[in-house]
Structure formats: structure tokens, C-alpha cells
Structure 1
Amino acid sequence: MKEFIIEENEAGQRFDKYLAKLLREAPKSFFYKMLRKKNITLNGKKATGNEKLQKGDAVKLFLSDETFGKFAGNTQVERAYCQLDIIYEDKDIVVINKPAGMLSQPADDGTPSLVEYLIGYLLQKGDLTEEQLQTFRPSVCNRLDRNTSGMVCAGKSLAGLQFLSEIFHDRTLHKYYLCLVKGKIEKKSHIKGWLHKDQKTNKVTVSREKIPDSLAIETGYRPLGNNGRVTLLEVELLTGRTHQIRAHLSSIEHPLLGDGKYGDREFNRQYTGEGVKYQLLHAYKLVIPQTGQTFTAPVPELFYHIITEEHLEEAYHENLERNMGLRQDDHTGGDRCDTH
């Protein structure tokens, strides 16, 4: 016999949904049969599976170790370890400054992603146990391209995941990015278009008119400064589509510096000697109106180096002081994870 006590992260869901996570390899017919035969009970009583679980409920499984092991499957959850740059954390959510080069979510090639690093961090910190991982998985709630740096929000608890999922879905959370783009931009603007993704190439195209299978996009931007050939831009992501900022700005002839997919090859080549191998795009500010919170993350060291090389550091620092309250000498975010 095995007994499980329902904790906060399992509470609120249907009993059969919980069992599907606990016995992930079992067909639904199996645990419904076990419920009918009282081989699985809830608080010592026969259950149907549609009960809503409450914190403190006792679940008993009168199954052999062999049967439980067979249907529980491989309960080992992937995890990885590195020093994460934590911007904010409470009991439900954590905001992480992701370095460029790190995946936001797991990929087929087995490369560790921020999800595995998050699980490793929470296990190491003691905020998560191996037993809890059997029925609850902390996860990130927004995705950044691999080579885009900046803030990613993750839910540590079920309540945290639900809250973040809601505000991302409803677009009530405001997301701001910093980037360096080709050309001179002097006025802020709010641009709209239609984005179509080619699944085979994982590349998108932007058009002014709707085409089949395209999605509406909106992007707001505000120039912070320019030197005639490069502009430091603050971008507000009003819709969150694949490669939206990169493709949308490229479509108006202001591609991101370093962008190998949507950028200007000749323009990018001028910066290869500075170590620029990917787009200089950084998710630097999140605003949550519901809680009155604003989170900020300074740009990575390479990004700041190019800002200074282009003599745009004054515009950058003015923006930091105005919007983030940072000292002028606190300009670099921590690239602390070895992702190679």
C-alpha cells in the first residue's frame, strides 16, 4: 500500500487528473477499475475520480510495488544545475534573467534548458522535493529565442503557474525589450502587420495585408538614442509571436544588429570582430499592473560593450535611471551559466 497526502500544488484538480500524473503509464480504464474495486481510495472511502482534491486529502493505492512501478513509469525528472540570475522570487513565482545561448524550454536534442535549470535550482534550494515532482512540474510561462537574453517568468507552485498563465494569455503583463538596430530612428511608433510562419524553415515573414494562416502582430517602439547609423531602441511587445520583434523591425528596414536570420549580412559583418554572433535583443522590463510590480534586468556585458562602442551609453543610462532606478555603474547583467 502506498499513501500520498495532497499538498497545495495538487489541490484544486480532479482526482482522476491527479491519478493520471501519478500513474502516467496506466490507461485511464485501469485506475477507474481500481477506483470501483476500492484499490484506490480517497480519504479512506470509495471514489469516482471526479472529486475535487483538497489540501490534506489522503490518497491510498492498494497496489503491489511491481504494479505501481510499472504504471508510474520513469519518475526521474530531468534537471540541471548552474547559478541562475534571479531578478525576483516569492513562494509562487520566480523571474530569471536568461543569458543568450540558453534554451527557454526543453528541446529534442537533450540540451539543458531553463526548465531543467529551474528544477535543479528549486531542488537544491529545498523549495521542491523529488516526491512533489511526481505530480507537479514547475515551468517557465514565457519563451525567449535561444539567443535572446532577458527576463523569463516561471511558476514555482500551481498558484504561480495559474497566475502567470492568465496574465500572459490576457496580455495584461507589459513586456519591454532593448535592442540595437540598423539605421536612424527618431520618432516612436506603433506598427501593425501580419506574420506567417514557415514550419519547415522556422522562419517568419511579415506583410501589411492578411494572407492565409497569418497572425496579426503589433509592435511598439521608442528610440532612446542614435549615432546616425545605429539606434538604441526600446520595444514593447504587444503581441507575442515567433520572432516578432526581429522580423517586424526588419520589415521596416531596421533589422537588429547581429541577427543572422532576419538581419543585414553586411551590416552584421562589421561587428564580428567585437564578438557579436547573435541578435542584440534583451527582455529588460516586465510590468504587472495587477500587483503593481515592475521587474528590470540590465543588458549583458557584450550588449553593453557594443552600446559603449557606438557611444550610446548616455542614452542607455538615462533610460535605466528613468525606468529602472539603477545606478549608472550597475550596467551589466550576469551571464553566469555555461551553456556550451
Structure 2
Amino acid sequence: MRIEQQREERFMKSFLIDSNDAGQRLDKFVVKVTSGLPKGMLYKAVRKKRIKLNHKRCDCSAMLREGDLVELYLNDEFFPKQDETFSFLKAPASLSIVYEDSNILLVDKPVGLRVHSDRAADSDSLVARIQHYLYQKQEYNPEKEHSFAPALCNRIDRNTQGIVIAAKNAPALRILNEKIKQRELEKYYLCVVHGIPQPRHAVLTGYWSKDSRRNKALVRDTPQDGFHEIVTEYTVLRPGVHESLVEVRLHTGRSHQIRAHMAHIGHPLVGDAKYGGSGGQPHQLLCAYKLRFCFQTDAGALSYLDGREFSLDDVWFTNNFK
């Protein structure tokens, strides 16, 4: 009995739940604070009381509240090493900031930068740069956080420029994720397309599916099994002889939606070879240039953002249409 107690004391780690940890299930929290603890081992640890909540037996579904104490009697191998925790320091801390306050950060992501790293060897990403920036400002320190790290609320393609929203704390992240889900943020894009879309303004409804193997979206005009409805609104701002500057508002947010939907109606984006565009550009001429907060329900701590609009002052590829 004494040997077992010493073993538990040796490997026990405790976490006092704060505002960034509260409001999530116990099992979700445990997965975040460990290095990929397998679900089978997690459930077994709960059954064996090697995971406790407030010194008592608990369920995986228990919702954490501020002030709770979570105790994990797990081997050290299941906890992240310091070099993993601070891996974001390998990325630059340079950002083009559109807006910042104590809860959120709006950043102009440049073309060529991924929002998240897609492999272990690639340490540079937008989220890593944001974490490095906030670490330098002493607004984020992984050693003082249990399960939260500054995170992105939306994402755009690697070769698309534009505004990305980051949350500095967990309450802001939860609110913004819900507002985006309920479509209480309006997102506008500028792009250059081949030809002149007719009519000059339209709200397009289509049906979308993603071919993951080819990383390419498919769009159809009628409902089909496995396809999801998409709504894309466009306005031709500056028609040209061969190309047009177009503003697009996304009513839904599917991967490659603008690129695939505009190509589907016969007007692919200039530079977008994946969807049939050309024009001597190395990538699609597309920018998420404007964002409007238009809350329809209570936004709690972020209510001050309601009605506010943020946009980029200069989008380089629009110069030819002035």
C-alpha cells in the first residue's frame, strides 16, 4: 500500500482550473494537458481513480468549473516536454496587426504562410507567430497555462491573404466560435476573376463536397448525397476587358468555397490553376479584406465588438482596377 502511494505521489500532477480551463469536459482537458494520452488509457485511468476531480472519483463527462482541482496520476512520459511546449518560439514574432485588444487579435496573414503547421519539421505558421508575439508581450506563457493557448477562430488558404481572427483567452475563443457557427460575423473577400460575371450581382446557391485525396472542392447545382449547401454572394466592382475585380461575401464557410464556386459558374480566379484559372500569377488573386461583427444574440464579454467593421487599407492586386 505504501509503495503504491509513493508511486502515485511521484507521478502525480495537479491542475487548478482557472477561467481559461473552465467550461470544458474533463476528458477534453486531460487530452490537452497530456501528450496524446490514448482514449483507452484515459478511460482506464478514470476507472482506476488515477484521474480525480476535487480529490474524488469522477466521470469523463464532468464539466470543469473555475476553482476545481484535477489530479493526474500518470507516468511522466504522458506529459509534454518543455521544448514541445515552447516550440512556437522557433517562428518569427512579426505580424501585420489590423486590430488588437485584451481579448482578440486581428492579423493580416500574408500569402505563402500557413495558418497551422502541417508537419513537425515546419515550425512557422500564423498561430505560432501569434503565440510568439503574445509571449514577447508577456500576455501568454505556456508555463502558466494548463490547457489553453492563443488560437485562431477562422482560417484561410496558404496562398490567400487576409484577416484572421485570434482569441487571446478561452472565453473569447468560445464566444467567437459560436458566433461564427451562427453566422453572426460577415466576411468579405476581394478577388480577380476571368471575364465579367453576369449578372453583375448575384447570390449563388450550390452544393459542395471535398475530394480530400486531391485537396479539391466540387460544386454542383442540385443536391446530391454527401454534398453540403453553400451560399456565395458576389458583386462585380470593376469590370475589365479580360478580368474583373469582384467582391464576395461568404454566407457559408466551406474550404475553397469562393475558388470552386466562381470556377463553377465559368469565372475562375486569376492565378488559380487548381480550378482552371491562369493569367501569369503564381497563386490565386484572393484576399479576405473585410470583417464585420453583427451579433444577433448576447456576446457577453465581446459585446463591445457588435457593429464594428475592420478592413485592409490596401490590397495590392486592386491597383490595376483603380
TM-score between the two structures when normalised by the length of structure 1: 0.76
Structure 1 CA distance, aligned partners of 2:170 and 2:220? Answer: 39
Q: Which residue of 1 aligns with 2:188?
A: 176
Q: Which residue of 1 aligns with 2:113?
A: 102
Structure 2 unaligned spans of 5+: 1-8, 296-305
Match of 2:282 among 261, 268, 277: 277
The more displaced of 25-34 and 288-297 is 25-34
Aligned amino acid, residue 97 of structure 1: D
Alpha-carbon displacement from aligned partner over 1:200-244 (angstroms, at most 9, x marks no partner): 211123222233322222111112122332211111011111211
Q: How many pairs align? A: 291
Q: Which residue of 2 aligns with 1:10?
A: 21
Structure 2 CA distance, aligned partners of 1:217 and 1:3? Answer: 46
Q: Which residue of 1 aligns with 2:46?
A: 32
Structure 2 CA distance, aligned partners of 1:146 and 1:20? Answer: 28
Match of 2:141 among 123, 129, 145: 129
The answer to whether residue 307 in structure 2 is matched with residue 295 in structure 1 is no
- What RMSD, in angstroms, separates the aligned Cα atoms of the two structures? 2.5
Structure 1 CA distance, aligned partners of 2:193 and 2:250? Answer: 16
Any idea what SS the aligned residue of 1:102 has? coil
Structure 1 CA distance, aligned partners of 2:219 and 2:52? Answer: 55
The answer to whether residue 147 in structure 2 is matched with residue 142 in structure 1 is no
Aligned amino acid, residue 172 of structure 1: E
Aligned 8 A contact 1:4 1:58 in 2: yes
Distance 1:13 1:208, change over 3 A: closer
Q: Which residue of 1 aligns with 2:76?
A: 69
Q: Which residue of 1 aligns with 2:176?
A: 164
Structure 1 CA distance, aligned partners of 2:70 and 2:209? Answer: 48
Match of 2:212 among 191, 195, 199: 199
Structure 2 CA distance, aligned partners of 1:201 and 1:168? Answer: 27
Aligned 8 A contact 2:46 2:52 in 1: no
Structure 1 CA distance, aligned partners of 2:53 and 2:222? Answer: 56
Structure 2 CA distance, aligned partners of 1:162 and 1:202? Answer: 29
Q: Which residue of 1 aligns with 2:266?
A: 253
Aligned amino acid, residue 213 of structure 1: G
Structure 2 CA distance, aligned partners of 1:82 and 1:184? Answer: 41
Fraction of identical pairs, as percent: 36
Match of 2:128 among 116, 141, 146: 116
The answer to whether residue 291 in structure 2 is matched with residue 286 in structure 1 is yes
Distance 1:31 1:254, change over 3 A: same
Any idea what SS the aligned residue of 1:204 has? strand
Structure 2 CA distance, aligned partners of 1:29 and 1:251? Answer: 47
Alpha-carbon displacement from aligned partner over 1:13-62 (angstroms, at most 9, x marks no partner): 34454334334537224542564xxx76655x43424654333344456x
Aligned amino acid, residue 282 of structure 2: K
Distance 1:71 1:172, change over 3 A: same
Distance 1:46 1:205, change over 3 A: closer
Match of 1:91 among 79, 102, 127: 102
1:159 is displaced (CA, Å) by: 0.8
TM-score between the two structures when normalised by the length of structure 2: 0.80
Structure 1 unaligned spans of 5+: 270-275, 314-340
Aligned 8 A contact 1:282 1:299 in 2: no
Distance 1:51 1:235, change over 3 A: closer
Structure 2 CA distance, aligned partners of 1:198 and 1:60? Answer: 43
The answer to whether residue 244 in structure 2 is matched with residue 244 in structure 1 is no
Distance 1:158 1:187, change over 3 A: same
Any idea what SS the aligned residue of 1:234 has? strand
